[in-house]
């Protein structure tokens, strides 16, 4: 009888403290896991097309960056975009501003044009139904049903 030297009152008090602390820890861990499960963005992270044609980095706060391997004479172009996620309908809408395309084309020193950027991103700027299965993201275009399969990096 190492704990409280056979004093039943002290042992009872220690036991209540231990059970209270462990109960509080279990509740805190459960709240943390539930918020991670229901409040996080399931698409957040870096995704690469299985053909290597593009990669999408989806961040928090509705921002994403689409990286294209080749546009015009440029080797790689990263285009900032915005997205809206609807978890209930399982849809993501990716949008971009025309002013961003204009400024990027001007900064490229003639390596690519605004039209080349728009054409390269035409298949990405739309609304998709999404499905995440382990490390694979499937984006299905709502209008025509074309699919894009992305692998998580």
pLDDT digits (tens, 9 = 90+) for 21-51: 999 999 999 999 998 887 778 889 999 988 8
Query: Going by CATH, does the domain composed of 45-152 fall within 2.40.128.280?
Result: yes
Residue-range domain boundaries for the chain: 3-39, 45-152
**What letter does residue 125 receive in the DSSP assignment?**
S
DSSP three-state, residue 99: helix
- How do residues 98-114 score in pLDDT, each as one tens digit? 788 888 888 877 788 88
- The structure's pTM equals 0.72
């Amino acid at each position: 009888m190492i704990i409280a030297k056979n004093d039943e009152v002290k042992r009872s008090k220690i036991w209540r403290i231990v059970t209270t602390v462990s109960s509080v820890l279990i509740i805190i861990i459960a709240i943390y896991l539930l918020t991670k499960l229901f409040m996080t963005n399931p698409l957040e992270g870096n995704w690469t097309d299985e053909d290597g044609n593009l990669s999408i980095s989806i961040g928090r706060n509705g921002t994403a960056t689409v990286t294209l391997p080749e546009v015009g004479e440029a080797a790689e172009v990263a285009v900032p975009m915005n997205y809206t996620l609807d978890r209930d309908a399982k849809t993501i809408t990716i949008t971009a501003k025309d002013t961003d395309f204009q400024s990027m084309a001007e900064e490229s020193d003639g390596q690519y044009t605004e039209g080349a950027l728009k054409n390269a991103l035409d298949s990405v700027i739309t609304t998709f139904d999404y499905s995440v299965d382990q490390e694979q993201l499937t984006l299905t275009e709502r209008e025509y049903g074309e699919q894009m399969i992305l692998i998580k990096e």
